[in-house]
Copies of this chain bind each other. A is one copy, B any other.
Amino acid sequence: MAIIKEVFEEDGLGQLNTLAGAAGGVKYMPMMNKSVSLAIIKNICRELEQPERVLPGGYLYMTDMLGQPNLMNEVGRMFATAFAHREIDVIMTVETKGIPLAYATATFLNLPVVIVRRDNKVTEGSAVSINYVSGSNKRIQTMSLARRALKEQSRVLIIDDFMKAGGTIQGMMDLLYEFNATVAGVGVFVESGEVDRDERLLEDYVSLAKLTAVDLKTKQTSVAPGNYFKPEEG
């Protein structure tokens, strides 16, 4: 068993977790090693740098890429690998664009998904709503989650497609607090580097790609691999 485990993990094929006891057994976690991940992310970065993707406000048009299930599954496998060692009960995202990434990640980790709504038209019994300030445009917005959608004390992995200052993710964290739930991790597909350090609302997250420069006039952008690919410090 130990040998199989070693071979699997060295080759980046996946991780075998052995659970002791009557309910024990071997759990296979399909992983993706960093060099494979990096090759895929570099292709994604090149694709994201196409000038026609630049949108007003320094955003990038990514909807076509988020609409490719196979690409989402590859990215989901990266997130699953990045967070495989954490204890997680549920994956959370906010509608709409983060949903395919959340499901792809959840498929590999075999976890349920909870989707936070951006309105309070939740028709599912009592709901908790919070107001949050989107860090980049300073507008007050609302997000809500049905009371029965999330158990108290859950350990939650937050997944989203894009993070600028982090206001939306901070909003999800505030919502988790209302459910006595805890944040097990934060994963974002693309982070914007166009944010001042003191505007950034959170520090502890995993990003797969980083938008390092946008010139709205020339529509020149630069996208690099995210902090997941940085060499470990210390």
A residues contacting B by CB (< 8 A) are 55-57, 59, 61, 63-64, 67-70, 72-73, 95-96, 99-100, 103-104, 106-107, 110-115, 117, 123-125, 146, 148-149
Contact = CB atoms under 8 A, between A and B. Distances in A.
A69 B149 contact: no
As for how many copies of this chain the complex holds, the number is: 2
A123 B55 contact: yes
B110 A63 contact: no
Given A70-B107, A70-B110, A106-B69, A117 B96 contact: yes
Nearest to A109: B69
Contacts of A73: 107
B103 A115 contact: no
A124 B63 contact: yes
A65 to B, nearest CB: 10
A124 to B, nearest CB: 6
